[in-house]
Each structure stands twice: as C-alpha cells, then as structure tokens.
Amino acid sequence: MTLKLESLVLYKSRPAIVRQLTDKKLTIEFADESRTSVRPKDVTLLHPGPSPHPRQLKIPIGDPQTAWELLAGSETTLAELSALAFGEYTPAAAWTTWQLVTEGTYFDGTPEAVIAHSPGKVEEIVAARELKAAEEREWSDFVARVAKGSYALDDERYLVDVIALALGRVDSSRTLRQFGRPQTPEAAHQLLLEIGRWLPADNPYPARAGIITGQPNVAVDPLVDEPRRDLTHLRALAIDDEGSNDPDDAVSLDGERLWVHVADVAAMVRADSPADEEARGRAANLYLPEGIVRMLPDELTDKLALGLQPLSPALSFALAPHADGDFTLLEIVPSWVRVERTTYEAVETQLQTSPYRELLAIADSRRARRLAGGAVEIELPEVKIKAAVDGTVSIKSLPPLRSRTLVREAMLVVGEATGRLAQAHDIPMAYTAQDAPFDSNSPADLTNASPSVMWAKRRQMQRSRPTTTPGRHTGLGLDIYVQVTSPLRRYLDLLAHQQLRAYLRGEPPLDKAAVTLRIGLTDAVAGAVRATERLSNQHWTLAYLMQHSDWQGEGVVVENKPGRDIVLIPDLAWETEIYHRPARPLDSTITLAVESIDLAHRTARFKVL
C-alpha cells in the first residue's frame, strides 16, 4: 500500500492523517489539530484512507479474543487481523487493532507482519505483568510507609543497599536514588533512622572505616619457660580508670629505685607468629563506648594483664631517678610481680601517704624537667562515654587528677629510657616523634593558661608519627621517645618489646627494614582506629543528647570567627558554633540548651539561654 492524501499513519506512536504529499515531504495532522512536516519513511501506514480526522476515530465493536484464539501461533497482517477481529478494515478498526498489537499481550510485530502469540507465550506475558504490577504496588506501599516513618519486614529487600551504603560497603543505593536522596552514607543513615530500621544505638563508623569488630581468635604460644626475677616482695600498683580490664603497666618503689612493670606480651607473642600477625593487622585495641575490640585474643589479656592473676609475668624496668628529673636506666628484667589494682580516683585521695607521696615527687620532678625542655601540656575537657547494651548512654567528666600525672610520668620515663637504650646499642626501634607546632612563636608553657589559649595551641600542634629514626617529641619535651608501656593495647609497643627481648636474650632483633615495614603496615590502620574512636564518641554523645532532650549546660567561648563563636562544652567535651552579634569575649561562659540533633551527620545545634 502507498501513502495518499487522507491516509491514516502512525508517527512516534501517535495516529495522524496525511494533509499534504510531495515526493520528499508530507504534512500530517494529529488529533489535537497540530501539524508537522516529516519524511515519508518516518511514518508507518495503518490505512490507505480516506480516513476521518484522528480525533473522530471510534472504537468499533468486535471480538479480538476470538480472533487471537483462531490465529494463535501464526502470522498475519494488520488488515487481516482488523477484518477478523472487527469484521472490517476501516481506519478506526485499523487504529484499534494496532493498539492491540502495541499492547503486546496477544499480538506483536508490524502492520505487514503481525504475530499472534501462542497460549503459552500469553501466559508468560500475563504472569510477568502481574508480577510487575504486584512489585509496583509493593513499592508504592513501601514509599507510603517511609512517608509515615515506618517499615515492614518485607521492606528489607528495599533496604539492603541502603544499609550497605550506610556502612560504607557500596557507593550507591538504588532505593535512595528512587527517593531522590543523595548517594551518601549520611543520607542512607538518615533514612534508616527515619523509618526506625536503625536506632540511635546503631554505630556505623567501625564498618565504614573497614575496622574489624570481631574479637581475634588465633593460636597463642605458651609462656616462655625462662628465668624470671622474683619481685613479688614489691608493692606493684596498677593504677587505671575505673572499669578498665586490661591493665598493662604498674609501678613500684624499692628504696630510691623506681620499678615500672609492663605486661610481658612478647613472652607469648613472638615476631611473625599468628598472634603477632593478627595484632599487626589490627594495630591497636579499638575503644568504643559500646565496648572494646582487642588486637590480641582474650586468652592473652587474661594471662598477661597485670593483676588479673595472683602472679603476673612482666618486663620490669629499674630506674634511678635524679633530683633534676633525669634518670639512669639500671636494668630490664623478665619478672614475676604481685599486682594490686586501683583507680586514679582512689589514689587521688591518698597522695599524701606512702608510696604515693614519693611516686608523685618523682613525677613532679620529671614533669618539671620536661616543661623546661619545651613540653606542651594542653588541658582541655575529657570525658568517658559508655553505652550500655540497651543503648543507654552515660558521660562522665575526667578531671585532671594528679594521680594521672604520677602514672603518665612513670610511663614516659620508660619510653625515654627505651629510646636511649635502643639508640646506644643500635637496636632498630619504632620511635615516636612530633615536629614543632605550626606556629613556632606560640608559647609552650601553658601553666594557668585559659581555655581559649589551650584551644589555640592544640590546633597548632602537629600529629606525632612513628619513625625508625630517633627524633624529638616536641609535645612531650623529650629528645627521644618510644611507646613501650601498652603492649596489650598497641602493636608498636608490642614490637618494641619484641626488639628489647631479642636484645636481652642476645639474639639478633628485627632489622631496620622489617621494623619500617611493620610501621607502614600498622600506621594507616592505627589512624583508622583513632578516627573510628573519635567518630564513635561523637555519635554516642549525640545519642546521649537525644536521650536527654532537656539537657542544659555551660559553654566556654574559645575562638571568634566571622559571625560566629566556637564554644567548648566541658561536660560533653564537645565543640559547637554559636552565631553572634557582636562577638562574645574569649573565655566567657554561656548557658546552652539543645535545639536540634542530626545524628546521621553528627551535628548538634544549641541555643543560648
């Protein structure tokens, strides 16, 4: 069939009538009386005409079902199907027949070759369409539930990729895309909170950082059978935070000799053993408000943490303190110690009694020497955050107790002693260094400094870093330093113990290349651990404020910025921005109340009362 004036044609799925016809172009008119000029090859002929206007095409009476039953599994033409289904091949019948073809259930094809589907094919098409319709209804129901802030168990299939994005396991979510929401972990987290699929107690930050949260389960070597110095006659004091269950250091006084005992982890964790490799991959204990994820198996902590058993194996450092705050390292020996566990708070009330009085005097002398050497002591609020199994959060302020100074200085003297020994005997070691502050002209002595000065100084401090080259630690005021007193908690401390023990046994320690490799493997993981702890503390602080929506507290202005003040909230160890007009004086205090919480983005807004 050829095109003629008033033929019925199909253009982009719309019926039209030919109004003008040339060799190269034809003008067609649609049901809405609009016209367009097209090429003949761009249209499909449905009926040669003459056809009424497209808006006048009426659905004829017929029996398409019987027509399909007669033709099922065969091929025909549009004209033949029209005549069979409606008893005529008119423009109206042709258009109605073509709609049956494009609907696709019973027929398919072109006007010249219409295929009548077999019964089996029709069943497949109908079933697929019913399934699609059911899915659309279910999706619509899910959307309605989301709008109401709820979800059903059957909705889990829509939430799988949302949860994966919230945990940082994938980069996008089809469900979020369909909701028109950003493809970010925060947006996913927000949706899950809105519908109650996640609760404030769900902490996504370990997973986002790729941190292992399962406890280690690897083979542990037995304790090395070797001579140990019997130091059980000494009163060994493990002073730690209340609730701590992995003490790895203790102090003793033996006349004028200071002993620092450290859990002898290297006696059971040799270099490149399964436990060593596990700890290396974890870098450090992960301390979360909801609990501790250890870098070493619980079996090791139970056996080696000081004071958990009647007798504890230790690596004990004997030091002779000098009046000027310096010291002499006398010896390092594997030992047995009988450890008495106590807390900073308990010791704080006994500082005028022996042996705490003498230990504090040594610590004060040491501290004075470090401060004279340029040490930077920044005292800003610290808190301890705990999350119970039921999600209840508690926040406890940690005051700057002198008992903490006592313990800190004892641990620092051992770190300095280890550094000196390693340097003198060329023992490859993971030293800890810290470069000078970004602003070298800022004062180092912060004695009696205000919160705003402390705040500004902290921002100027550079991050400490592990290195195989001895270097100054500016913040500690030490020319050399090795972290060595937490081998149960930090891998590089354990590495230092392994190196020391090899030296003490007269065996070759790991070479510098091996130590460098271990530093490289653990430093990035240790950074992720620290970031996870920080983000998790922020998360649980906001969860605490959600549980205490009537919270009110004091804020201290520590920095002025254009249009806003940076305010530190001591009771929460939290910083926030408060808009001002004009700026408030630095170190002035204001009373704040919670205005709103955005848990997914870890932000809180406070108002000034």
**pLDDT for the residue numbered 448:** 80
My answer on whether 280 and 323 are in the same domain is yes
484 and 391 together in one domain: yes
With both helix axes pointing from N to C terminus, report the angle between 512-547 and 274-282 in degrees, rounded to the nearest 10. 50
Residues 507 and 553 in one domain: no
Of 346, 387, 353, give the one whose Cα is nearest residue 242.
Answer: 346
Q: What is the DSSP letter of 293?
A: E
Within a domain: 24: yes
Quick one: 374 and 282 in the same domain? yes
Q: What is the pLDDT of residue 443?
A: 63
Q: Residue 224's pLDDT is what? A: 87
Give yes or no for a contact between 242 and 348, defined as CB atoms under 8 angstroms apart: no
CB 101 within 8 A of CB 109: yes
The one-character DSSP state at 388 is: -
120, 149, 171 - which closes a domain: 120
CB contact at 8 A, 287 and 296: no
According to DSSP, the residues that pair with 604 across neighbouring strands are 597
CATH number of the structural domain spanning residue 188: 1.10.10.10
Are the beta carbons of 360 and 510 closer than 8 angstroms? no
Residues in the chain with pLDDT values less than 50: none
446 and 494: one domain?
yes
Q: Are residues 571 and 521 in the same domain?
A: no
Same structural domain, 24 and 140: no
Domain boundary among 53, 88, 120: 120
Cβ neighbours around 36 below 10 Å, total? 13
Domain match, 359 and 447 both: yes
- The reported pLDDT for the residue numbered 440 is 63
Give the residue among 457, 452, 343, 359 at the shortest CA–CA distance from 396: 343
Q: What is the pLDDT of residue 583?
A: 83
Residue 418 lies in a domain: yes
pLDDT for the residue 329: 98
Q: Residue 182's CB: how many other CB atoms inside 10 A? A: 13
Q: Are residues 560 and 466 in the same domain?
A: no
Structure tokens at 545: 């404020």
Structure tokens at 360: 């504090």
Contacts of 420-427 spanning 24+ positions with Cβ under 8 A: 420/329, 420/480, 421/329, 421/332, 421/500, 421/503, 422/470, 422/482, 422/499, 423/470, 423/480, 425/503, 427/499, 427/500, 427/503, 427/509
Helix then strand count (H, E) for the chain reads 16, 26
- pLDDT, position 18: 95
Q: Return the CA Rg of the chain.
A: 39
d(CA 89, CA 69): 19
**Integer Cα distance of 450 and 465 in angstroms:** 28
DSSP string, 333-383: EEEEE-EEEEEHHHHHTTTTSTTHHHHHHHHHHHHHHHHHTT--------E
Range(s) of the domain holding residue 579? 548-608
Other C-beta atoms closer than 10 Å to the C-beta of 53 total 15
Q: Give the Cβ contact number of residue 353 at 10 Å.
A: 10
Q: Is residue 258 part of a domain?
A: yes
3-state secondary structure 88-113: CCCHHHHHHHHHHHHHCCCEEEECCE
